[in-house]
Structure 1
């Protein structure tokens, strides 16, 4: 995987990615020193914001100050009347304080009345859960080291479990609810009665709110009706301790409210990509579309043959999983129409291929793609904010994406680049190789010699890409001795780079081989699948 952009890394730190995007970036960040440094910087900035922009605390005399402001003029003192007038004015002041100040300064008033799932911190699907009777107030808490973790409400749906919580000090005052259990001994998981474990958790946190929100996706496999959320935290607000809770979940009611529309494996193919429609699920907090993409049999044979040629040329270790081979995959571009044939959702798998703006009011809140192990085959699951089944939604295919082997190379003489940069045009990509530099960094290791040195080469490029043109994938560098090295791409546009490890010096000459490319092909005609019975 090439290095993500700064925006993508920022979204990764802020937990704004889909499950698939988060998993992919997390795996990359763990193995990329450069991206780790960027993530560390973003997290430091995030922590600074949390610590310095806390919600202001109102003064004890605030109610009387409001009262003084709304009292319009000096009142006559009438025996027996002053007390009830004052009571009315205090009530007015309380209403102003509750509805005005709480709404503008702190959302906790609305949260206090109806809980987190009535506020904007929850997505629209979760905000519909109270109407469906799926919000359970559990008010479970555990205290250690003077800090209390309080789980207030649970939403249990057939597609996800959401949990709202607070972190309180010994006086009951809400503290920063942000939890960070990655790369630590802490963890929050869901298990069913068969012991099946659901690890993925998404943390939502908003400045000015006393609440944190954790969500678990239940979409990857069949789920039993009885679940347990297991909380095991060893640190809260920088304090070491032990906070454990087991929270029982019952999906019986939500399963009754969930409707399935089998799509009977309706299928088509286009430009070597096959599409199999699986099912549409309508549940109280989300609607889910499940389908599968892959290569046709003929396309898979052709791609396997080209992969074998790459293996013979560059070595199997440079081509097979988890390097280039794992990038050969498929996807689709589609839209969803309502009963009036109006587009209410446009799926942007790769927005750089699509010139038109996204159309429609239907909102995707989570999407995943799970590889099956077969070349190019991906099981997709897209979750939307609920639409009613009687809306008679229709799926319309627009085009297909496929990442396939490429056969293009360019020879580079690094010392000549300053005078004569190397330029080429490949499938709508105009690329100029600007320079090659050597980098060294030092790191600590467990050894007799604790300081290690690591060198890399950076190839600077200027890249311009036409709309809907191919997206260049993985490059392999072959030096003048015939040794092959994997490159790692990052940046974009005029600031595009390839990073190469394992070379101690810049070769006098080397060749860059493009071994994968992603192409978009529009679907010819119109293929529609009704998403209703």
Structure 2
């Protein structure tokens, strides 16, 4: 941004308040991409793909100053995402006049901001009277980024619709820059607005040349490698800086000794988890990072906004992963800090009780430094989206006090053909006759720490298979996510300013 542009921007801040500009606020969370064969409790999921049908070109306002055009007319103005605001003020957003009308409704993409980290597109919907329709009324059926010949660059996901602003919504596509092509096409299609079915396809050109030029990829020092006490080797490959984000790429793999331990851990639960075949958990781990400046102040984490599927190198946990965070200022020195490793492993919890006992007081078991307390067994509304909605579900409410445990396994297996829940492989509910009730929904909350420093966890486990209360119940878990504290610190290289 030139000094003249900065002066213009400051002046326009006063002018913009007098203009009829929409307030565009980005939502805090995103919708997760649907994974076949499993669902996370409480997740909102949907698939994305596309077919191309219609080409509409971008119409960009006459050039006065990138900052002038971007600031006055940008729908990102007022966004809580300061990284996007900065990129817009630097002139990196593209104004779009791409629209399509069907069934009396017009879908329009108004503005696009694209760099190698992500593409964010702002859209609106209007009826025949030119009235705005709330953006969450649009059912987005297909989204893709392709080259100019229509070849798909990568599978992409859309996530989130702004529910705090009545006129404009947005979709975000991650990692659009994982290609040598700089001229791409955003292909976007809706198939329903409110209760009206139709076809609203758009194909919008995107030029990444300017934003790629402004981005920097720096290799990391080859000596930046680390092996955790659990045997996970970590190698930092590179750090990428763009206008809207920064991201470290790192490679992970287990030592040979650690691989043998993982095989032994799998054998420990073999035959004890009835609802899923045991397997070696080479990939059931997560590394938690943060970035801080020389004062110890943390940089904003963008993992959720930029999170991408890992790239598997082999089937034994060797993979390439990425960690994203806000852009860094050249006025500071920064350090990447590895805080912890979270790993799924055998961890047994078990308690038996009589549901009728709970009328007097909770049932509590203290064993091996672990505490489990059953609060109640009731029949409530379902908490999982795939569960039948027309009946009450047996709900076991419990609290646990556990050291270093951050999650009790809570993934539900779903049959792809029938969309029916077939089992839950973390918990087993069994009555006095040996009958097993599948866990078909529930809730997991981390409350805090107790006086012993243990994690206080509150859980609800639901089963629509239990129609009435048995005399006795036993509750058993064989797996948990255990957190191991780490403290590996690496200085981050910074790009040199262009003179």
**Contact 2:343/2:481 (<8 A) preserved:** yes
**Contact 2:431/2:472 (<8 A) preserved:** yes
Q: Shift in Å at residue 460 of structure 1?
A: 2.6
Q: What CA distance in whole angstroms lies between the structure 2 residues aligned with 1:437 and 1:328?
A: 36
Q: Match of 1:69?
A: none
Superposed CA RMSD in Å reads 4.1
Total equivalences in the alignment:
409
Alignment counterpart, residue 406 of structure 1, candidates 311, 334, 347: 347
Q: Secondary structure at the match of 1:498?
A: strand
Q: Shift in Å at residue 136 of structure 1?
A: 2.1
Q: Shift in Å at residue 24 of structure 1?
A: 7.4
Cα deviation per residue 1:2-28 (whole Å; 9 max; x = unaligned)?
xxxxxxxxxxxx963356x56579963
Q: What CA distance in whole angstroms lies between the structure 2 residues aligned with 1:470 and 1:254?
A: 39
Q: What CA distance in whole angstroms lies between the structure 2 residues aligned with 1:522 and 1:278?
A: 23
Q: Secondary structure at the match of 1:387?
A: coil
Q: What CA distance in whole angstroms lies between the structure 2 residues aligned with 1:134 and 1:452?
A: 47
Q: What CA distance in whole angstroms lies between the structure 2 residues aligned with 1:204 and 1:22?
A: 14
Alignment counterpart, residue 459 of structure 1, candidates 396, 403, 406: 396
Instruction: Indicate whether 1:385 and 2:320 are aligned.
Output: no
Instruction: Indicate whether 1:496 and 2:459 are aligned.
Output: yes
Q: Shift in Å at residue 120 of structure 1?
A: 1.5
Q: Match of 1:477?
A: 429
Q: Match of 1:512?
A: 475
Q: Shift in Å at residue 319 of structure 1?
A: 4.5
Structure with a larger share of its residues in helix = 1
Q: Match of 1:305?
A: 264
**Contact 1:259/1:283 (<8 A) preserved:** yes
**Which ranges in structure 1 are unaligned for 5 or more consecutive residues?**
1-13, 41-109, 346-359, 442-450
Moved more, 503-512 or 196-205: 503-512
Q: Match of 2:284?
A: 329
Q: Shift in Å at residue 336 of structure 1?
A: 1.7
**Contact 2:259/2:282 (<8 A) preserved:** no
Q: Shift in Å at residue 259 of structure 1?
A: 0.8
Q: Match of 1:187?
A: 142
Q: What CA distance in whole angstroms lies between the structure 1 residues aligned with 2:29 and 2:369?
A: 29
Q: What CA distance in whole angstroms lies between the structure 1 residues aligned with 2:375 and 2:390?
A: 26
**Contact 2:438/2:465 (<8 A) preserved:** no
Residues 439 and 243 of structure 1: is their aligned pair in 2 closer, same or farther, counting only changes over 3 Å? closer
Q: Match of 2:187?
A: 230
Residues 480 and 515 of structure 1: is their aligned pair in 2 closer, same or farther, counting only changes over 3 Å? same
**Contact 1:310/1:319 (<8 A) preserved:** no
Q: Secondary structure at the match of 1:116?
A: coil
Residues 170 and 499 of structure 1: is their aligned pair in 2 closer, same or farther, counting only changes over 3 Å? closer
Q: What CA distance in whole angstroms lies between the structure 2 residues aligned with 1:207 and 1:172?
A: 21
Instruction: Indicate whether 1:218 and 2:180 are aligned.
Output: no
Q: Match of 1:530?
A: 492
Q: What CA distance in whole angstroms lies between the structure 2 residues aligned with 1:439 and 1:122?
A: 37
Q: What CA distance in whole angstroms lies between the structure 2 residues aligned with 1:376 and 1:484?
A: 33
**Which ranges in structure 2 are unaligned for 5 or more consecutive residues?**
1-25, 46-68, 383-387, 410-425, 448-456
TM superposition score normalised by structure 1:
0.64
Q: Match of 2:126?
A: 168
Q: Secondary structure at the match of 1:370?
A: coil
Residues 26 and 169 of structure 1: is their aligned pair in 2 closer, same or farther, counting only changes over 3 Å? farther
Residues 522 and 495 of structure 1: is their aligned pair in 2 closer, same or farther, counting only changes over 3 Å? closer
Residues 219 and 288 of structure 1: is their aligned pair in 2 closer, same or farther, counting only changes over 3 Å? farther
Q: Match of 1:196?
A: 153
Cα deviation per residue 1:422-471 (whole Å; 9 max; x = unaligned)?
32246765321234456799xxxxxxxxx9998864323234567x5554
Please tell me whether Structure 1 or Structure 2 has the larger radius of gyration of its CA atoms: 1
Q: What CA distance in whole angstroms lies between the structure 2 residues aligned with 1:188 and 1:478?
A: 44
Instruction: Indicate whether 1:370 and 2:309 are aligned.
Output: yes
Q: Shift in Å at residue 143 of structure 1?
A: 2.2
**Contact 1:402/1:519 (<8 A) preserved:** yes
Instruction: Indicate whether 1:343 and 2:284 are aligned.
Output: no
Pairing of 1:137-176 with structure 2 (within 5 A): 137-176=95-134
Q: Shift in Å at residue 288 of structure 1?
A: 1.5
Q: Match of 2:234?
A: 275
Residues 390 and 320 of structure 1: is their aligned pair in 2 closer, same or farther, counting only changes over 3 Å? farther
